[in-house]
């Protein structure tokens, strides 16, 4: 049972790191560094670092802050879903 929770946590963290990395791909920091920071720290720290990084020059502003907002919604949705699953398993 604990192994399943550990695997779920690792997969969730990796998925969120990839999502944050895609956000960082449109910034000076790039996908690789954003992904690495998200894996080593947390996806939330990676998101903050990516958002603090400058945008790439010449890129049109299509989405504004919608991309960051969607990323935050996904992060919190996965976290809340994980808590609900853990509560159902151990509750």
Q: Quick check: is 42 in a domain?
A: yes
How many structural domains are present in the chain? 1
Q: Quick check: is 58 in a domain?
A: no
Give mean pLDDT, residues 78-86: 79
Domain carrying residue 16: 2-51+65-90
CA distance 48 to 62: 20
- What pLDDT is stored for residue 84 in this prediction? 80
- Cβ atoms of 24 and 53 within 8 Å: the answer is yes
How many of the other CB atoms lie within 10 Å of CB of 33? 17
Q: Quick check: is 85 in a domain?
A: yes
Residue-wise pLDDT tens digits, 17-73: 888 988 888 888 888 889 889 989 999 999 999 999 988 887 665 555 666 667 677
CA distance 32 to 24: 8
This prediction's pTM? 0.63
Q: Quick check: is 86 in a domain?
A: yes
Q: Quick check: is 60 in a domain?
A: no
- What pLDDT is stored for residue 11 in this prediction? 83
Instruction: State the chain's mean pLDDT as an integer.
Output: 81
């Amino acid at each position: 049972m604990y192994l399943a929770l550990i695997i779920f946590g690792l997969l969730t963290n990796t998925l969120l790191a990839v999502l944050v990395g895609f956000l960082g791909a449109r910034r000076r920091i790039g996908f690789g560094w954003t992904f690495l920071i998200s894996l080593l720290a947390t996806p939330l720290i990676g998101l903050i670092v990516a958002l603090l990084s400058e945008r790439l020059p010449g890129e049109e502003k299509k989405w504004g802050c919608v991309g960051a907002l969607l990323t935050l919604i996904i992060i919190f949705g996965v976290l809340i879903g994980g808590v609900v699953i853990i509560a159902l398993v151990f509750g």
